[in-house]
A and B are shown apart, each in its own frame.
Chain A
Amino acid sequence: GNSVTQMEGPVTLSEEAFLTINCTYTATGYPSLFWYVQYPGEGLQLLLKATKADDKGSNKGFEATYRKETTSFHLEKGSVQVSDSAVYFCARTMMYSGGGADGLTFGKGTHLIIQP
């Protein structure tokens, strides 16, 4: 099936702390993997993506590596800022038994709070 599991929040960190948000996915097919970010009152924006095993997506200091052996795509950042406070969603492409892949399946989201 299509499912994504990510760590529950809220995650509260101090500014400049190291961030990890765990994400694992079901191994059906060969999905692409994504991290989206949602700031308060807004829609989701793509943060980074990886389309095959061992690919590393990166953007704005965030990184995630597609690990097929552990079916994981953990989000990391070395030094977080107050402006990183948002909800982060891990996602994978959906797969259909008839082939093809359309749409995304999202995790429940992790609320990140960065304190000054």
Chain B
Amino acid sequence: NAGVMQNPRHLVRRRGQEARLRCSPVKGHSHVYWYRQLPEEGLKFMVYLQKENIIDESGMPKERFSAEFPKEGPSILRIQQVVRGDSAAYFCASSVLAGNTGELFFGEGSRLTVL
């Protein structure tokens, strides 16, 4: 009865490299959310996806960041040409309902460090 699984838990990249973060939602959940947590800034919404669709990407930086949730397989958050400011914890959450009264189930996060 697995919860939200994220990997890798820790990722180190040099400036200019690519980072790929994976998220497998709770079985049966079709809604996936990505959040970024920076020190002193709390948890910031990035993107909301359903299978094969981006519903809301208003929190995603316009450049270098992309997300997908394919029909098969995990959701992927991709950061191209990483910079030091991308260092943060990235959390994935899933839900079975579309918000309002639906609870979000969070993974343990992927901590990205950019050298």
Number of interface residues of B (CB under 8 A): 25
A101 → chain B, closest Cβ, in Å? 4
* Contact between chains at B99 and A101 (CB < 8 Å): yes
Number of interface residues of A (CB under 8 A): 26
B50 → chain A, closest Cβ, in Å? 9
Known: A32-B100, A32-B101, A43-B91. A103 touches B42 (CB 8 A): no
B22-44 interface (Cβ within 8 A of A): 31, 33, 35, 40-44
A32 → chain B, closest Cβ, in Å? 5
- Cβ of B108 within 8 Å of any chain A Cβ, yes or no, is yes
Find chain B residues with CB under 8 A from A105 CB. Answer: 45
**Binding site of A, secondary structure by majority: helix, strand, loop or mixed?**
loop
* Contact between chains at B108 and A100 (CB < 8 Å): no
- Cβ of A108 within 8 Å of any chain B Cβ, yes or no, is yes
Q: Which of A41, A49, A101, A104 has the most CB of B within 10 A?
A: A104
* Contact between chains at B101 and A51 (CB < 8 Å): yes
* Contact between chains at B100 and A101 (CB < 8 Å): yes
Residues of B within 8 A of A (CB): 4, 31, 33, 35, 40-45, 48, 55-56, 91, 93, 98-101, 103-104, 106-109
Residues of A within 8 A of B (CB): 31-32, 34, 36, 41-46, 49, 51, 89, 93-94, 96, 100-109
